[in-house]
Structure 1
Amino acid sequence: MKIRRKTNNCLNCGASLDGIYNYCPKCGQENNDNNVSFRTLLGDFFNTYLAIDSRFGKSIKPFLIKPGWLTNKYIEGKRVSYAHPVRLYLIISIFYFFIVSKVGQNMIAEEDNEVITTNTKKEISATDSLELAKLGLTADSLQRLRDKKNYLKNKTGYSDTDENVKSDSIQHSRTSKDKRSKSSEGLMNIETEDDDFILDRIDFELLDKYKYDKEVSNDQLFDSLQLKELTFWDELLARQSIRVVRSDKEVVAGFILKNLPLMMLILIPLFALILKILYIRQKDQLYIKHIIHALHLHSFAYFFYGISLILISMIIENEDYRVLPFAISFILVTLYALFSFKRVYQQKWMKTIAKFLMTGSIYIVFIFIFFIAEMIISLLIY
């Protein structure tokens, strides 16, 4: 229920108002004082759209086991007894995208740890054990030394050389890279022109080499790339590439995943538009009905996919069985959406299945396009 802060006089025309009036009987303005702090408005928003009351509890059962039933009830005008579609979507989407963000960052962290462990083991195994023994080192002590050195590099900017030596090293690395490129051009007949795509001209090996070296700035690395004359967009891509490569993968992934809720919120009206076009012959199917239907379908999908992510990341340890929760969720969401189409639009099964498949195919293409665009925009503004 909307929260109103009623006044004794209309803020528009000054007419006296009784406490029972939600609107001024003289000018029609709403009897509500919005001249309050942002904190109060934010609290009103959460109380209005995210509060879980008896209506929310009453909506859970039909929401889970009766596809399309809540959509029909809302369109019929029976809205007081059940949770508002926007409130239902917001509550479940907060749960889902929180899980997606945490699982995504954890997966990247685990992958990084595996790569570091694998590379460390390979380097240790490749080292002559006799030489280690001469130095009084064992594989375990070497590992501890490496961990300590990496820790100091990441946290305090520790380095074995001063800034001048680093600059020379960067230049030498770049020069060596150019020499290898020139020699390989003769063998492979490959030429690199200044008008090549900017990402093809960036020496990512050099960026990776100085990824954790805090004494080398991003500007120094940019200058060492020797990219010559650049357009505004080329320079932007080059500098953002340096920034992204030298950033923590978990932070970058978190930034990208943080924008997913907005992307999906934009896609919901587009999904409703697809439904509007496919059911254009049904004159009684207003666009708002498709919006409500889209909100309920996405809420159901978020709920079960969120549960499956929890099972995969926190409960099921055997990798052979981790695909099972997602497969079950996909089947449930697909069947739920199909039966929801049938109940809401009340067409024969053949037409329902055909339009369901068309909607799904078109929507998957849009999701892919929007996701790629969201990644690119996120990386450009990171």
Structure 2
Amino acid sequence: MNELDHLSQVSCANCGTAMQGEFCHHCGQSIHSVLKPVHHMVEDTMDMVLHVDGRIVHTLPPLLVKPGFLTLEYFSGRRMRYIAPFRLMFVLALLAFFVCHLALDGDDVPRDAVVLSTPFDQAGSAQEVQQLLDRRVAAIGAQRQKAGSNAVALAALGAQEARVRTEAADRLAELAHEGKQATASTGTTHSHVNLVRADGATSFFSGEWDAKAHPVQIGWLPGFVNRRLTAALEHMHANVAALADDGEASLATRERLVGQLFSSLPQVLFLMLPLFALLLKVLYVFRRRLYMEHLIVALHSHAFLFLALLLAVLLALLEGWLATIATCAAGPVHLLEWALAIWVPIYLLLMQKRIYRQGWPMTIVKYLVVGWCYLWLLTFALVLSAALTLSH
């Protein structure tokens, strides 16, 4: 078998045209052979999906500090030095949501931050359970004051407090089931149960709804769509009922739903891109730009947002870590977080001004309109993501 991975091959193996480089100018086939070792195939696959090469050095810095630069370069035809817009946004979105998921995961909460960690299983009465609960909640409150405005640390401590209250409720249920509480203290026990459980936490699916007895029947929809809607509502009913309960089942359901939410968010946000590009097309209809140009603007702007989100989460994690070992070093990191938060809206405004080249008054008006509409689109995307998560 003749090898096709040498430039000495004078003719294209596909169409027979004389080769003038590594690709045939007639049919486009590469001169390189597809018969390669497995490790070369793995390298080619990783390069195709992530494309992490020298171009990332020329792409990320201007994406972060030069509003509109990559988009204008792309429009000018200078594209080889930079990562393609869709691939750039796709990789940054995956990284951002992955890091957010890790940061907000309840298992990553610094449990050693709580001063008193006596297991509730050692409590022999409801009063002891409540005393331990009060002290642990107070310790978490002290950690909240140290965390300041660190959103990631506050969310993690909130998840930890919810888990502590769930453990206390489980221990109270065990004590009641084992009959270790005296009849005289039964009323007090119920009051303690109300303290550790959320008051009035009821599901909007609560009732005797049954998917088989009351399936979804919408006349103008096909039968398979009605069946899918019925199954989705049944899953929502089960998930919401599991979340309303206490114990390990509720915690496991919450962790599963959070994982599914972060898995569905990128897909839903990708669906927003064509709508966002259409919005730009409508607002700049007299600029006579193609829809594809607006789509590239949307890709680069979302890539910047995902990069900013990734940096914000990493800075928040760094601040939380520095706060435990060197409080003075956490201050500059907190300033960087504020600088990044201020830079995001300024960046998007400058990007819109440099790309569409309109006057400042018209640019600001359209910027506000785009921001208002995008806020509603984002709300719709989050609601849709939550609904898809609960329906699985």
Name the residue aligned to 1:185: none
Match of 1:304 among 303, 308, 314: 308
Instruction: Output aligned runs, 1:251-270, within 5 Å.
Output: 251-270=256-275
- Further displaced range: 327-336 or 363-372: 327-336
Deviations 1:92-139 (A, max 9, x none): 22321111111222389689x99x989959x8785379xxxxxxxx98
The amino acid across from 1:338 in the alignment is L
The amino acid across from 2:285 in the alignment is I
- State yes or no: 1:81 paired with 2:92: no
Match of 1:230 among 206, 214, 234: 214
The amino acid across from 2:63 in the alignment is F
Match of 2:282 among 263, 277, 282: 277
Name the SS of the counterpart of 1:259 in structure 2: helix
Q: In 2, Cα distance between the equivalents of 1:337 and 1:39?
A: 42
Instruction: Output aligned runs, 1:93-108, within 5 Å.
Output: 93-106=93-106
- State yes or no: 1:371 paired with 2:355: no
Q: In 2, Cα distance between the equivalents of 1:60 and 1:76?
A: 19
Q: Cα distance, 1:48 vs. partner?
A: 3.2
Residues 1:56 and 1:370: Cα distance change in structure 2 (over 3 Å): same
Q: In 2, Cα distance between the equivalents of 1:287 and 1:231?
A: 42
Name the residue aligned to 2:21: 20
- Further displaced range: 360-369 or 231-240: 231-240
Deviations 1:259-317 (A, max 9, x none): 2122222222221111111100001x222222222222222222222222223234234
What TM-score do you get using the length of structure 2 for normalisation?
0.60
Residues 1:60 and 1:47: Cα distance change in structure 2 (over 3 Å): same
Q: In 2, Cα distance between the equivalents of 1:104 and 1:314?
A: 14
Instruction: Output aligned runs, 1:289-368, within 5 Å.
Output: 289-316=293-320, 317=323, 327-368=338-379
Q: How many residues align?
A: 295
Q: In 2, Cα distance between the equivalents of 1:372 and 1:64?
A: 29
CA-based RMSD: 4.9
Q: Cα distance, 1:63 vs. partner?
A: 2.4
Residues 1:33 and 1:272: Cα distance change in structure 2 (over 3 Å): farther
Q: In 2, Cα distance between the equivalents of 1:329 and 1:268?
A: 23
Q: In 1, Cα distance between the equivalents of 2:379 and 2:12?
A: 51
- The answer to whether the 8 Å contact 1:124/1:139 transfers is no
- The answer to whether the 8 Å contact 1:103/1:313 transfers is yes
Deviations 1:302-333 (A, max 9, x none): 22222222232342349998986654433211
What TM-score do you get using the length of structure 1 for normalisation?
0.61
Structure 2 unmatched runs, 5+: 137-163, 178-202, 217-229
Q: Which of 1 and 2 has greater Rg? A: 1
Name the residue aligned to 1:208: none
Residues 1:238 and 1:33: Cα distance change in structure 2 (over 3 Å): farther
- The answer to whether the 8 Å contact 1:276/1:290 transfers is yes
The amino acid across from 2:98 in the alignment is F
- The answer to whether the 8 Å contact 1:244/1:379 transfers is no
